[in-house]
Amino acid sequence: MITTCVDVFVKEEHIQDFIEATKKNHLGSTAEAENLRFDIIQSNDDPSHFMLYEVYISQAGVLAHKETAHYAEWRDTVAEWMAKPREAKKFTMLFPATAEDA
């Protein structure tokens, strides 16, 4: 399984716009065949700080996600709303060990 955490800092005036656009991307992403999780969380301490927690069965699933219309729409829509470039970090899933265990 492929796990990615994406840190996003949004300009204050676009927080609600970002939430709405990201919900649409979340709904499209969770419908993808290889998606296991696509969580969107917002910091309690800093409402402009979001994290996207994404889990895909394989690298092919991650690459397929990057080709979807909903991802492209999200990426292009939110780009100007970010206070700084988003930062993605890859992680190795330890538990659950397989998609079947999830």
User: CA–CA separation, 33 vs 41, rounded Å?
Assistant: 22
* pLDDT tens track for 31-84: 999 999 999 999 999 999 999 999 999 999 999 999 999 999 999 999 999 999
Looking at the predicted structure, is the pLDDT value of residue 102 above 70? no
Domains of the chain with bracketed CATH: 2-94 (3.30.70.100)
User: CA–CA separation, 29 vs 64, rounded Å?
Assistant: 10
Q: pTM (2 decimals)? A: 0.90
Helix, strand, or coil here: 92?
strand
